[in-house]
Amino acid sequence: MKPIRTLTGLLAVASISAVTSANGQSASLKLLASGAMPKIGYYAPQRLALSQSKPAAVKKAPAGLKAPLYGVLNFGPAAKQATVAIIVDEPAGQPSRLWVDSNADGDLTNDAKPEWTPRPLTGGEGKTYTLHIGGAMVPLGSGAQAPKVHLAMYRFDPADPGRAALKNTLLYYRDYAWTGKLPLGGKTYDVMISDEAASGDLSAKATSGKPSLQLLIDVNGNGRIDPRGEAYDASKPFNIAGTTYEIAQIAPTGASLTVRRSAQTVAEILPPPDLSAGKPAIPFTAKTTDGKEVRFPDAYKGKVVMLDFWATWCGPCRGEIPHLTKTYQALRERGFDVLGISLDQANAAEKLASFTKENGMPWPQVYDGKYWQAEIAQLYVIQSIPAAFLVDGDTGKIVASGDALRGDNLAKTVEDALKAKGL
């Protein structure tokens, strides 16, 4: 899951108008056509099947295609969907190219060039493959007046055996949302409607048990949306400050939202604690795999310590290990330490011990075999890994988290934290 960022820019463009009616509380919403994903803080990838067969939706294709794969995306309200054709050309040994029928006219030679950037990605056995990331603006339904919104897109290297199931697949997700302010129970909240299914249809029903639309409410007013306690399935009741509500109506265009009290009662789910930089880390006492008791963060006076949530089964976690071991070896004498929190499953103690030894990870590990329900992970409300927090052992405050502790950023972040302490 991607890092949650501030909503400041998003809410600045919201058209705000809220009224109370017999049907409940209503608010006007404004479409944010692009840039919503980082403001929401996560993405829900959808799959578009690609085929060598040219579809009828492609009336005119670009010249010089060598190894094209075609896909067709039906996007927008069910009553007036736009048919958006997509072409990915991937000749062996040559750069991949992407075309998107952004005006849905069947001609893929008269559209704005989509974003399509290659990035190296380490696969199995340390081999490097190419991930392509990009996207395009597409019409939110048919008709000349349909607004355009941004769909983010990416594609894994078809030669990567570890992702063979995605060889003929383009992944995409919504980078747009509807935003505004909604009064509930005497308070006014910043809200968004997120099209999780990236269908462009605000009347879409949930499929496969997953919500099609999410109502996002900044309950604690900290300018961020957290998936727990601030993201609600738009088709179900939700509880804010002890009162259960439900969505009465979302306008087909997304221009307005009405919420009313529900006849049902559901439990309130509180947002997790604020674990951003400058906030106190949550203290705990636990036993490490060598049987020693560790009091966090009190045991790290005079140091900066990275609390690292990971697991041996987690590919992205394994990808971070070389950066972490290198930084640890370079800076441990100056006061950098690590405490690992393993989310490995039951009966994996021996596997964990051998893995950490083989990969040069001498720092202590806390492991209780409870997988995603690991006690420290629950305390920190960990919903995806790798996840890490750099903590000042003297103040107990969080120095950094998220991307600042990944890849090449890690060493600089730790170095800066040590310098700030005079170490």
Calpha distance 73→81 (Å, rounded): 10
Calpha distance 96→421 (Å, rounded): 47
Q: Are residues 183 and 290 in the same domain?
A: no
Q: Which amino acid is at 270?
A: L
- Domain assignment present for 136: yes
Q: Are residues 237 and 317 in the same domain?
A: no
Q: Which of 294, 278, 371, 368 is nearest to 338 (CA)?
A: 294
Domain that holds residue 81: 51-167
Q: What is the pLDDT of residues 238-295, one digit of tens each?
A: 999 999 999 999 998 899 999 999 999 999 988 878 888 999 999 999 999 999 999 9
Q: Are residues 408 and 304 in the same domain?
A: yes
Q: Are residues 133 and 154 in the same domain?
A: yes
Q: Are residues 381 and 292 in the same domain?
A: yes
- Domain assignment present for 379: yes
Q: Are residues 116 and 208 in the same domain?
A: no
Q: Are strands 148-155 and 169-174 parallel, antiparallel or unpaired?
A: antiparallel
Q: What is the pLDDT of residues 371-385, one digit of tens each?
A: 999 999 999 989 889
Q: What is the pLDDT of residues 335-349, one digit of tens each?
A: 999 999 999 999 999
Q: Are strands 115-122 and 128-139 parallel, antiparallel or unpaired?
A: antiparallel
Q: Running DSSP on this structure, what letter comes out for residue 23? A: T
Q: Are residues 132 and 58 in the same domain?
A: yes
Q: Are residues 236 and 217 in the same domain?
A: yes
Name the one residue in this structure whose structure tokens are 């502790």.
405
- The answer to whether the beta carbons of residues 288 and 363 sit under 8 Å apart is no
Q: Are residues 33 and 63 in the same domain?
A: no
Q: Are residues 34 and 88 in the same domain?
A: no
- The answer to whether the beta carbons of residues 283 and 377 sit under 8 Å apart is no
Joined together, the tokens standing for residue 359 give: 């990969």
Name the one residue in this structure whose structure tokens are 């309950």.
219
Say if pTM beats, i.e. exceeds, 0.85.
no
What is the predicted pLDDT for the residue at 271? Answer: 83
Q: Are residues 405 and 322 in the same domain?
A: yes
Q: Are residues 112 and 28 in the same domain?
A: no
* 5 pLDDT more than 60: no
- The answer to whether the beta carbons of residues 71 and 170 sit under 8 Å apart is yes
Q: Which amino acid is at 152?
A: A
Looking at the 3D structure of the chain, how many domains does it have? 3
